[in-house]
């Protein structure tokens, strides 16, 4: 067996590597960690709510944990093993994608979808959903899961697969946000990589043409006779939008680096082609948290020069937002200066590609906040359970249909609270508009739905049976209470 270091990033040949690689974490260490988790569950008094004892989170909605004791997840944050022949990995649920990618790349492999922020965990991306520029061909992270061990709300660890006794949990776990249970181990598919990704930044001055191009590329995986392996985009205005088309390459000449003074999103406007190592491409958005680092001055050249590179990463900016939320330094300063209060608008919404131009025009007219990130996605043509029927909705709690192209639009920042309006009004307006355009939103951030509307959109016909079977004692919050709560 071969042991590897998780800090190595070069892509290596797998020809001389043992087919199954047992890593430092290993099966025995994993069993010990699961036993510790189970012991912490059993130590919580009956009838008391259960939650994870997590120090960090990529959620942007308020979490009221009270005095509830958290489950001990110590030792559940690594890669257990990699099968380089089958191209699979057994991964602990609290493993971050930063660790996962650093572990798989030396074997010339990567997860089928790598969410854009380093500290997103595999378990979080599956139960809360993740997305990135391979989603137009590989779907969402849960679609490359072959099986998973889940600690249910009833305190039992079960193995869920596409077929068999717990197939209902396998299909219902995505978008359940820890309200049915918590994954401990996931076996996922991996795909081979090349050393670098060549980029083409294609400009569109018309939103309808932009959507047409997205649909074409998502179904053909080509553009102007060139293969497209990665696809996302940025909208700066109604007349300036770009699709970034990535293609695998073995050419390591003339590489760019956006971990220093330059910022990636500005390069999209400044150059038509580019090239990054696969490692740097996967984390191109993390350094500046897309463009949100601007709010902290990190894009000011005079500030950036003295801002250590190790602190230019999404989790650091997220902590700064948390401090502002807790103490309100900027809000108090704005109040003292006589400026209006500001509402946090941090949302990812998904629209059918045919309705995307309408939504973008509505957004640009009603929400004074740009840029927007665009990430096309389609459910996989095939996966662990085979090909879903066209038009079907194979995942119980998530409103996507097979055979259709969707576009995720992400927008993150704050807007001024207008006279006569209150905090939350702009988010409600966006929520209503998204529904009107046939879309839906991710539940990682603030939501305002009434219960009837929520359950109609997010699997209300399936959720009660899942909740009764796997959390009969109501130890976990239900999905509505977790995602929306009482407002």
Encode pLDDT of 187-211 as tens digits: 999 999 999 999 999 999 999 999 9
Encode pLDDT of 66-102 as tens digits: 545 689 999 999 999 999 999 999 999 999 999 999 9
- Please report the domains of the chain, with CATH numbers, ordered by start residue: 20-192 (3.30.465.10), 196-441 (3.40.462)
On the question of pLDDT at 243 being above 50, the answer is yes
Contacts of 129 (CB under 8 A, 6+ apart): 140, 141, 142, 174, 175, 398, 442, 444
Q: What is the pLDDT of residue 2?
A: 35
Contacts of 347 (CB under 8 A, 6+ apart): 410, 411, 412, 427, 430, 441, 442, 445
Q: What is d(CA 324, CA 328) in angstroms, rounded to the nearest whole number?
A: 5
Q: Is the peptide bond before 371 cis (omega within 30 degrees of 0)?
A: yes
Percent of the chain at pLDDT > 70 equals 89
Query: Residue 292 gets which letter from DSSP?
Result: G
3-class SS at 246? strand
User: What is the model's pTM?
Assistant: 0.91
Cβ(232)–Cβ(244) under 8 Å? Answer: yes
Q: β-strands 70-71, 51-52: how paired? A: parallel
Q: What is the pLDDT of residue 22?
A: 55
Packing angle of the helix pair 425-436, 356-366 (nearest 10 deg) = 160
Phi and psi of 221, rounded to 5°?
60, 30
Encode pLDDT of 153-170 as tens digits: 999 999 999 999 999 999
Q: β-strands 109-111, 181-192: how paired? A: antiparallel
Element (H, E) at 256: none
On the question of pLDDT at 302 being above 70, the answer is yes
The tokens of 406 are what? 């969707």
On the question of pLDDT at 14 being above 60, the answer is no
Q: What is d(CA 352, CA 350) in angstroms, rounded to the nearest whole number?
A: 7
Residues present in the chain in total: 487
Q: What is d(CA 153, CA 479) in angstroms, rounded to the nearest whole number?
A: 13
Q: What is d(CA 38, CA 51) in angstroms, rounded to the nearest whole number?
A: 13
Cα 20 from chain centre:
28
Q: What is the pLDDT of residue 200?
A: 98
Packing angle of the helix pair 207-220, 356-366 (nearest 10 deg) = 140
- Per-residue pLDDT band at 383 (split at 50, 70, 90): low
Cβ(233)–Cβ(241) under 8 Å? Answer: yes
Phi and psi of 414, rounded to 5°?
-135, 155
């Amino acid at each position: 067996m071969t042991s590897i270091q998780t800090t190595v990033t070069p892509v290596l040949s797998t020809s001389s590597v043992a087919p199954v690689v047992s890593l430092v974490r290993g099966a025995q260490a994993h069993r010990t960690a699961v036993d510790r988790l189970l012991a912490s569950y059993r130590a919580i008094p009956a009838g008391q709510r259960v939650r994870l004892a997590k120090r960090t989170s990529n959620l942007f909605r308020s979490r009221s944990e009270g005095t509830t004791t958290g489950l001990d997840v110590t030792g559940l944050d690594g890669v257990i093993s990699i099968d380089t022949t089958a191209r699979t990995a057994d991964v602990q649920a609290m493993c971050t994608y930063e660790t996962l990618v650093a572990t798989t790349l030396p074997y010339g492999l990567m997860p089928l979808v790598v969410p854009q922020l380093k500290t997103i965990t595999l378990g979080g991306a599956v139960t809360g959903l993740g997305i990135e520029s391979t989603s137009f061909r590989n779907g969402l992270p849960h679609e490359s899961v072959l099986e998973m061990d889940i600690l249910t709300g009833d305190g039992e660890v079960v193995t869920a697969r596409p077929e068999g006794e717990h197939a209902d949990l396998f299909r219902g776990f995505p978008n359940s946000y820890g309200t049915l249970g918590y994954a401990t181990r996931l076996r996922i598919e991996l795909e081979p990589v090349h050393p670098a990704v060549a980029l083409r930044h294609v400009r569109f001055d018309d939103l309808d043409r932009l959507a047409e191009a997205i649909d074409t590329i998502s179904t053909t995986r080509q553009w102007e006779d060139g293969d497209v392996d990665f696809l996302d985009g940025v909208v700066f205005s109604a007349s300036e939008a770009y699709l970034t088309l990535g293609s695998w390459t073995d050419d390591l000449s003339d590489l760019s680096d956006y971990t220093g003074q330059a910022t990636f999103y500005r390069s999209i406007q400044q150059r038509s082609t580019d090239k990054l190592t696969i490692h740097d491409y996967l984390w191109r958005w993390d350094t500046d948290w897309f463009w949100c680092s601007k709010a902290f001055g990190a894009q000011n050249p005079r500030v950036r020069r003295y801002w250590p590179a190790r602190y230019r990463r999404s989790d650091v900016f997220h902590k700064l937002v948390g401090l502002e939320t807790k103490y309100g330094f900027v809000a108090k300063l704005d109040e003292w200066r006589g400026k209006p209060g500001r509402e946090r608008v941090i949302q990812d919404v998904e629209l059918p590609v045919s309705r995307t131009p309408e939504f973008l025009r509505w957004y640009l007219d009603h929400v004074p906040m740009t840029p927007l990130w665009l990430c096309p996605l389609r459910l996989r043509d095939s996966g662990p359970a085979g090909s879903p029927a066209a038009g079907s909705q194979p995942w119980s709690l998530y409103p996507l249909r097979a055979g259709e192209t969707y576009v995720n639009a992400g927008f993150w920042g704050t807007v001024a609270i207008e006279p006569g309006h209150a905090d939350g009004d702009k988010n409600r307006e966006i929520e209503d508009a998204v529904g009107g355009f046939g879309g839906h939103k991710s539940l990682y951030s603030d939501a305002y739905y009434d219960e009837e509307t929520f359950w109609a959109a997010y699997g209300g016909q399936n959720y009660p049976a899942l909740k009764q079977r796997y959390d009969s004692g109501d130890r976990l919050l239900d999905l509505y209470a977790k995602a929306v709560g009482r407002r």
